[in-house]
Structure 1
Amino acid sequence: MFAIRLTELSDKSATWAVPVGPDGPPRLGELDAEVRALIEQTSDAGKAGALTVLPRPVNRPSRVLLVGASTGSESDWRAAGAAAIRAASGDEILEVHLPEGVSGAAVRGLAEGLWLGGYRYRDAPRAARSGEVRLIAANPSAYEESLALARVTAAATWLARDLTNTPSSVKNPEWFAGQIVAAAADKPGLTAKVRSGDELTRFGGLLAVGGGSVSPPRFVELSWQPAGATTHVVLVGKGITFDTGGISIKPRDGMKLMKKDMGGAAAVVAATLGAAELGLPIRVTALTPLAENAVSGSAFRPGDVITHYDGTTSENLNSDAEGRLVLADALAYASEQLAPDLVVNLATLTGANAVALGKRTAALYSPDDDLAAALTAAGEEAGERMWRLPLADDYADNLASDIADRVSAPAGPGSVMAALFLRDFFGDTRWAHLDMSAPSWAEADDQDLTKGATGWGARTLIRYLSQLP
């Protein structure tokens, strides 16, 4: 990540970015008249993320970027930061001039937008940003905590994006497990345990899904356990490193982006690392069942019966509904072995999510009203929208099987049926499921998102965990 620093010293050789919020732009001395005249001529100058350029070729600064912060909400400031960083060239100094008395939440949003809008995949041919970014404030020390929080959140999101953007020619279960171990190695209080081979005997869903690949599955348990922690949150993330659909093979268009099918695992790992970086006083365990769903003579078949970690069985009807099978094992493991206070699982689970809610909104399922409300609020603050959908009991009869405890992919509304399937595996623990298939990927740059993996969920989880007692 490139550096952002707070300072009260301005340099007219830099490019200036000037947020335009509900109270107009900050005071800019001799530039006030020019900036305010331009705003009067531009109808959307204050719209969140809007960009208006004031060129001053024979003056200093030679360019002023007006970036809209609209209502002044944290989300609007995030959009302003993303607009500013995209308009700045990669090697120039960018100064963002803050209005006097701006809130810490606004500065956090602005900094997150700068970092998230300026993201570059670590292996991309495009050069990473080399120029300095300065936040100009009359009292810089007042915003140090806000900048530190933004830095942790952005770093977690960058990591989740990097992991998800990595091609599956590199990213198999062993590689992904190694990345988690390496990330945890230099952080005190973090431990990572990787299970493979005979250690996975009880993980029937994971073994079935990964059985068709030359890259065997892994199950990683990443744990942050600070002294004195009394609350234990388990985060479960789907980690399918590539999804062909298996025997129920996908068409080409449905398969070409399936390197992103481990976006849930990337998010829960990144959030747990973020919790450790912030020193949050709660115990957090991230579980990532990792497998490649491939086509071969050893691939599992429609009609097979799978025995999960808790001993219950599922009749597989569709090998392209594999995510719920590996999540079921992880949820059952968490319930039996970890005694969590609550479980949140994230998964790029169904295409039905996008049909129902579009490309920027995840589906939220939970029988717990308080947990659902807290996650929704955290997502709103973080800029990751979700919408609660019903766990409709009248659809549960569709899960009935003649030869097993349940069927894996019954008829009915796809995202709801997947959530109902998962509901059987976590016991009486407080639980929420986020189907984030649609918002895990952006087709183009869009405010704080960059084209490609979005890292969806890492920001929400860090916000939510930070608010727990």
Structure 2
Amino acid sequence: MRGSLAVGKAGDGVDAVAYVAGREALDWLRAVDPLAGHVIDLGDFRAGLEEALVLYRMGGAPRLILSGAGGEDEWLGHAERLRVAVAAAVRQARRLKQVKRLGIVVEKGLLEKAAEEGSGEAWALEQALVAADMANYAYSLHGRGERPHVLAEIRLEPGNEKALEQARAVAEGVRLARDLANAPANIMGPDGLEQEARELARRLGLGIRVLHRGELESLGMGGILAVGEGSDSEPRLIILEYHGGGKKVAVIGKAVAFDAGGLDLKPPQAMLEMKYDKSGGAAAMGIVAAAARLRLPVDLVALIPAVENMPSGRAYKPLDVIRMYNGTTVEIGNTDAEGRLIMADALAYAAERYKPDIMIDLATLTGAAVVALGNHAAALMSNNEELASKLERAAWRAGEPAWRLPTWPVYEKQLESKTADTSNVGGRWAGAITAAKFLEKFVDGRPWAHLDIAGVAWVQDKGPWKPYYPGGATGWGVRTVVELLRSL
């Protein structure tokens, strides 16, 4: 279920036209249409952030949507003001089931301010278009009954073809990540993820390699094998390669297609969101798809360890000791701390085989990250100051904030084990940090950054609340890493 993005005259042949502006541009809105001016003078529209109002008129597009971008003092920046306001207009239009085609006009001043935060007007237009597409997203498996209403076309004014081409590439990457994460485990298990990766490779001319049980055993990938042992779905490591020249970048994404917790079984209520535990792997696949469509000048490899973490007679057990790909032995303190085990094997393999200049991992790794930051920012940890700073800036530009947590050596003491090189858990306190310190043991000292997206990968009780996240998976991380890759 998707509509198309376009640029051109917003009022031509549409069912509704939306005007997007901040509080500083109310005079511009007054000049746009006498009806808009009348409503503003009455005080019924103040252009607040996410404020959207529908008006009806004779002549031209029959529906007029006014969408507010708030004031210049908004903490989130002008580019995010633009994204949120455009998305709010799309969301309002979708509520009107008779609207099939929407035209959007962005006030020039808001566009110029957003452009200053990025790399020019084409970038700002791209942000608006991607936000519009994200707000027009719906995941549905309805066989009968009414399916969610999406707009057939969204047209932006002003616009240019370069911005449109780039927006379509990024939007497709985000959509792919959301589709994969939203899909239930019976449809998108490890086998389904492999099939999607193979189809993506075929469409975009990517290199692909998938390591199944025999190869995982011969390579000594004890983490991936142990976590996948309890499931009837075979574990695997999916590897996608895009060759654009330039720096070597490895992106590693956690893909636990369903996480029951293993023998340390989760309570039933906690399992209701565990189809989303593959969001990191979904984002990694979306990133490589966007990079290929954008023809970015990087050599990018995405490694996606795909497993299910289930209880059975074969499942790995608390206090088992397993040997990882790089030879490290790990004592299992909790079978529900499984993501770091599969990620560790993938990180170590990426570091040794591909020798990347940069390594980035994305994982719905810890509840501790959600406790620390809620549902509004990812937790960022890194062993490299330059990479961490670049990733922070990229996240802010993309509208996907990431907040740095310390990775001081003292936290490693919490992972000490009496019977193995390390434990896979470090106790209750600083859980997001000790998980990152565990992963750091497997990167071979290469520049590496870890994004714990447990709080932001899907819409939860406390957010993230944005009009371009109607619900379900958010695709968080695709736009951030694409921004970073562009900066290289």
The TM-score with structure 1 as length reference comes to 0.93
Match of 1:344 in 2: 360
Query: Is residue 92 from structure 1 mapped to residue 100 from structure 2 by the alignment?
Result: yes
Q: Which residues in structure 2 correspond to 1:221-370 (within 5 Å)?
A: 221-226=239-244, 229-370=245-386
Offset of residue 237 of structure 1:
0.6
Paired AA for residue 331 in structure 1: L
Please give the alpha-carbon distance, in whole angstroms, between the structure 2 residues aligned to 1:404 and 1:43.
66
Residues 369-392 of structure 1 deviation map (CA, whole Å, 9 limit, x = unaligned): 211111111111111111000013
Match of 1:146 in 2: 163
Offset of residue 12 of structure 1:
7.3
Please give the alpha-carbon distance, in whole angstroms, between the structure 1 residues aligned to 2:283 and 2:14.
39
Match of 2:402 in 1: 386
For residue 314 of structure 1, give the secondary structure of its aligned residue in structure 2. strand
Paired AA for residue 477 in structure 2: G
More displaced stretch, 418-427 vs 148-157: 148-157
Offset of residue 149 of structure 1:
1.9
Q: Which residues in structure 2 correspond to 1:2-21 (within 5 Å)?
A: 2-8=3-9, 10-11=11-12, 14-21=15-22
Please give the alpha-carbon distance, in whole angstroms, between the structure 1 residues aligned to 2:454 and 2:431.
12
Paired AA for residue 61 in structure 2: P
Change (3 A) 1:20 1:301: same
Match of 1:218 in 2: 236
Q: Contact 1:205–1:328 (CA<8 Å) still a contact in 2?
A: yes
Query: Is residue 439 from structure 1 mapped to residue 456 from structure 2 by the alignment?
Result: yes
The TM-score with structure 2 as length reference comes to 0.90
Please give the alpha-carbon distance, in whole angstroms, between the structure 1 residues aligned to 2:369 and 2:224.
23
Change (3 A) 1:393 1:28: closer
Query: Is residue 33 from structure 1 mapped to residue 34 from structure 2 by the alignment?
Result: yes
Q: Contact 2:10–2:104 (CA<8 Å) still a contact in 1?
A: no
For residue 167 of structure 1, give the secondary structure of its aligned residue in structure 2. coil
Offset of residue 132 of structure 1:
2.6
For residue 292 of structure 1, give the secondary structure of its aligned residue in structure 2. strand
Match of 2:195 in 1: 178
Change (3 A) 1:302 1:19: same
CA-atom RMSD, angstroms?
2.0
Offset of residue 28 of structure 1:
7.3
Q: Contact 2:10–2:105 (CA<8 Å) still a contact in 1?
A: no
Offset of residue 9 of structure 1:
6.6
For residue 355 of structure 1, give the secondary structure of its aligned residue in structure 2. helix
Please give the alpha-carbon distance, in whole angstroms, between the structure 1 residues aligned to 2:30 and 2:330.
70
Offset of residue 55 of structure 1:
2.9
For residue 336 of structure 2, give the secondary structure of its aligned residue in structure 1. coil
Please give the alpha-carbon distance, in whole angstroms, between the structure 2 residues aligned to 1:285 and 1:9.
39
Report percent identity of matched pairs.
37
Q: Contact 2:23–2:46 (CA<8 Å) still a contact in 1?
A: no
More displaced stretch, 245-254 vs 12-21: 12-21
Q: Which residues in structure 2 correspond to 1:118-157 (within 5 Å)?
A: 118-121=136-139, 123-124=141-142, 126-127=147-148, 129-137=150-158, 140=159, 143-157=160-174
Q: Contact 2:279–2:364 (CA<8 Å) still a contact in 1?
A: yes
Structure 1 residue aligned with 2:134, among 106, 110, 116?
116
Query: Is residue 209 from structure 1 mapped to residue 227 from structure 2 by the alignment?
Result: yes
Residues 37-78 of structure 1 deviation map (CA, whole Å, 9 limit, x = unaligned): 32243476322222122233x554332111012338111111
Q: Contact 2:91–2:467 (CA<8 Å) still a contact in 1?
A: no
Paired AA for residue 444 in structure 2: G
Match of 1:429 in 2: 446
Q: Is there any run of 5+ residues in structure 2 with no aligned partner, and where?
A: 113-120
Please give the alpha-carbon distance, in whole angstroms, between the structure 2 residues aligned to 1:130 and 1:46.
23
Change (3 A) 1:249 1:449: same
Residues 235-256 of structure 1 deviation map (CA, whole Å, 9 limit, x = unaligned): 0011100000000000011111
Change (3 A) 1:456 1:128: same
For residue 456 of structure 2, give the secondary structure of its aligned residue in structure 1. helix
Paired AA for residue 127 in structure 2: G
For residue 204 of structure 2, give the secondary structure of its aligned residue in structure 1. coil
Q: Is there any run of 5+ residues in structure 1 with no aligned partner, and where?
A: none
Q: Contact 1:18–1:25 (CA<8 Å) still a contact in 2?
A: no
Change (3 A) 1:213 1:236: same
Q: Contact 2:458–2:471 (CA<8 Å) still a contact in 1?
A: yes
Please give the alpha-carbon distance, in whole angstroms, between the structure 2 residues aligned to 1:121 and 1:62.
29
Please give the alpha-carbon distance, in whole angstroms, between the structure 1 residues aligned to 2:348 and 2:378.
24
Structure 1 residue aligned with 2:478, among 452, 458, 462?
458
For residue 19 of structure 2, give the secondary structure of its aligned residue in structure 1. strand
More displaced stretch, 293-302 vs 70-79: 70-79
Change (3 A) 1:251 1:345: same
Residues 233-286 of structure 1 deviation map (CA, whole Å, 9 limit, x = unaligned): 000011100000000000011111100001000001110111111111110000
Please give the alpha-carbon distance, in whole angstroms, between the structure 1 residues aligned to 2:301 and 2:183.
24
Residues 6-57 of structure 1 deviation map (CA, whole Å, 9 limit, x = unaligned): 113733763110112254158579853321232243476322222122233x
Paired AA for residue 15 in structure 2: A
Change (3 A) 1:28 1:217: same
Please give the alpha-carbon distance, in whole angstroms, between the structure 2 residues aligned to 1:390 and 1:44.
44
Paired AA for residue 453 in structure 2: M
Q: Contact 2:26–2:40 (CA<8 Å) still a contact in 1?
A: no
Please give the alpha-carbon distance, in whole angstroms, between the structure 2 residues aligned to 1:298 and 1:175.
22
Match of 1:162 in 2: 179
